[in-house]
Amino acid sequence: MKAERLRLKRLQRLEKLRAIARQTALAEAGRAEAQLAQLETLGQRTASLISDYAQRDDATLAEDLVRQRAFVAGLSQLAVNTRNDIARARDNADRRAAEAAAAERRRAAVEDRAAATARDIARRQAAASLPLGGRKPR
């Protein structure tokens, strides 16, 4: 019985550690999702700027038109880089979400084992408190 109580205490400590790990994983997943959202917003704004500048027709000199086209080309390269960053951020967010889910499963498994051990201890204590005849006293 003493060994089971020690096991229960160990499982309860392990459950606390797993809960902390779960909270950390959830926080990291949240940061990854926030970064992804920022990059997606940046990508949308960059695409909007490219569209706006590409449609402009107010260049009066050829030099103005060359500068405008160079600016649009620079924005286009920025958009490509942003799309690549978004893909990496999405992969990171997915990986962090999977880590958070795994951390929750590990925590829940320890919680289940601790609850089963506690039930087993309670059942053994109840069985030990019954008289030898197997009946409850009147």
43 and 83 Cβ atoms separated by less than 8 Å: yes
113 and 11 Cβ atoms separated by less than 8 Å: yes
Per-residue pLDDT tens listing for the chain (138 residues): 789 999 999 999 999 999 999 999 999 999 999 999 999 999 999 999 999 988 888 878 899 889 889 999 999 999 999 999 999 999 999 999 999 999 999 999 999 999 999 999 999 888 888 766 555 555
User: How far is residue 104's CA from residue 110's CA, in Å, rounded to a whole number?
Assistant: 10
Q: What is the pLDDT of residue 133?
A: 58
Q: What is the pLDDT of residue 127?
A: 84
Q: What is the pLDDT of residue 132?
A: 62
30 CB-contact burial (10 Å; exposed 0-12 / middle 13-18 / buried 19+): middle
Q: What is the pLDDT of residue 81?
A: 97
Q: What is the pLDDT of residue 53?
A: 87
**Straight-line distance from the first to the last Cα atom of the chain, in angstroms, rounded to the nearest whole number:** 27
